[in-house]
Amino acid sequence: MTSQLFSKIDFIEFTLHADVLRFGDFTTKAGRQSPYFFNTGLFTDGDAIAKLGRFYAQAILNAKINFDMLYGPAYKGITLSASTAIALASLNRNVPFAFNRKEAKPHGEGGVTIGARVSGRVLIVDDVISAGTSVRESINVIEAAGGAPCGIVVSLDRQERGTGAESAIQEIEREFKLPVISLFCLDDLVDYLSQRSEMADNLKRVSEYRTRYGAG
């Protein structure tokens, strides 16, 4: 990956090689049988998390979104916000970052956040939006601290319907009027698989899943 170009194919292959993106039979939180599984918590060494931060940083810069700091919701967002801030600094965009505690700390520095003071335009850095619960909690924390959420960046847009016709990301964008940047989406994965004959079985199963549960 260069400092000028973000490739979704590069990112998909990066997650495949790290076994973060897997194919098989998995059950989602919604009880659906999914032919694929994605979990950024499986990036477990320094080189992988450094590369992940660079992918996030380049996607953010490519989106040309105006922001003053990063915020990562616990727990996965902690590593994501830190690694992305480091990567941004290497690209001459030095910004502060913060993340939250699961429970407020009554002693020491106290509060519900750790890191920089939450203020200005705050970009939320997370892994995947499933039901939108984490995003709503993050928005509440940011606003309570005096900041203004300005967008969200995630690894994967699953493009799955929630309780209605919209996906969780579409619901968040509509409800909070915030842009959501994804490093890749399910349609990108389908396109990727369609160009690789050795993955024909995975393509068939993922395409069927997209047709059955996908949002418009």
List active site positions: 105, 107
Q: Are 119 and 147 in contact (CB under 8 A)?
A: yes
Q: What's the angle, vertex CA 59, arms to CA 57 and CA 65, rounded to 5?
A: 90
Across 6-28, b (16+ Cβ under 10 Å) vs e yields bebebbbebbeebebbebeeeee
d(CA 129, CA 214): 14
- Which tokens belong to 200? 């024909």
d(CA 80, CA 183): 13
Cα separation values, 65 from 22, 60, 148, Å = 31, 7, 14
